[in-house]
Amino acid sequence: MVTVVLIGALGVAVALACAGGVAAWRARASADDRVAEAVASLAAGMHETMRDLAGALEGAQTTSRRRDAGLPELASSLELDEVTERTLEQAAGIPGVDAVLVDTAGPEGTRLMRTIGMLDEEAARTAVPVPDNDNIRAVEVTFHYRIDDVENASPVVRSGVVVPLRADGLPIGSLAAFTRTTAGRLADVELDELERLAQRAGPAFENARRYTEARSLADIDALTTVHNRRYFHETLAREVARAHRHHRLLSLIVLDLDNFKAINDKIGHLAGDGVLTEIAERTLSVVRSADITCRVGGDEFAVILPEAGADDASLLAGRIARAIAGRPIPGVGILTVSAGVAEVRAGDTPADLFQRADEALYRAKGSGKGRTVADGDAG
């Protein structure tokens, strides 16, 4: 009964999270933060509910403590990486298992394949699909090698068992366990334990996948599809803390379209939205894959540059400016941007770094626009 309540509560909560994510995608920029706050609040509530229900479920178990070890942890997490790591660890803890492979549905149509005890290349060679058949409990496989000198001590995979991962009655992937010994197949008791783990892991993977997709939508600016203001402040705080902890470089660019109010007055706000979308696309075309581009205000954008100093940030700001001004925008013509650059200093808070970059931006605009000013420049 408790298990049913747990799964039902989780299904309802995740459905609401998805609805919140879709609303965030369709909402305009002014609604992004409200939706994001709702998703964050819902996530916190889900975590608390899962902990409470998982605790009740743990207390209700009366048999096979080792068999059910890890159930509360799997059920209570909505983080996909966390669910994956715990599933791998629990499967690897089954007696006789030397390597584990998880292959399941990831966010937005991707595939998630993770291993423990084997390299990705070996996983690709040994992966065995499970036929789409509800009656199949598991697929057992034995590996035979042509070379006779593959001995007991050899690290090659000898045999394995693959069990399906299902959620809401539908297949979403598989969980495979392998042994490197010649002692034979996994015993029935180990197979039973792997199957029970897969039954718990399937819904946990699906819930985490849906939550990841919903959270991703809540992090995106609905107009330009770059990250939104809330995500910017969260990420800047995380990167500043990381830079201080590991003594790494970190820089920030804040840029603003010149004379955008006049553009809106000339072509209207709807067409002005199209201009902002084009600016975002041109910015994304020149930033590094490690850089984080965000819309932080009406026509104000920011780029967080991990592992980059102020000189590199100034060079990137120049590339962005040239990409934007390099060709006219229909109905508007050539546009320019002003940019401010700042590099993190010892003792900086995220607000300190942002304020210095923003002040540099306003010096750039005050000194003629269409230029980049770095923090510390005379202006």
Tell me which residues are annotated as active site.
299
Find out whether 253 and 323 touch, Cβ atoms under 8 Å.
Answer: no
- With a CB cutoff of 8 Å and minimum separation 6, the contacts of 117 are 92, 97, 98, 99, 100, 178
Alpha-helix residue ranges (DSSP H) falling in 289-349: 310-325
3-state secondary structure of 182: coil
Q: What does the block give as tokens for 3?
A: 């298990």
Backbone Cα Rg of the chain: 26
> What whole-number distance in Å separates Cα of residue 35 and Cα of residue 12?
18
SS3 percent helix, strand, coil of the chain, rounded to 5, is: 50, 20, 30
- With a CB cutoff of 8 Å and minimum separation 6, the contacts of 40 are 218
Give the Å distances, CA to CA, from 204 to 15, 81, 82, 88.
14, 11, 10, 13
- With a CB cutoff of 8 Å and minimum separation 6, the contacts of 102 are 84, 87, 88, 112, 113, 114, 115, 165, 173, 174, 175, 176, 201
> What whole-number distance in Å separates Cα of residue 68 and Cα of residue 57?
10
Q: What are the residues facing 250 on neighbouring strands?
A: 306
> What whole-number distance in Å separates Cα of residue 255 and Cα of residue 327?
18
Sheet of 292-295: strand order equals 292-295, 300-306, 250-257, 337-343, 372-374
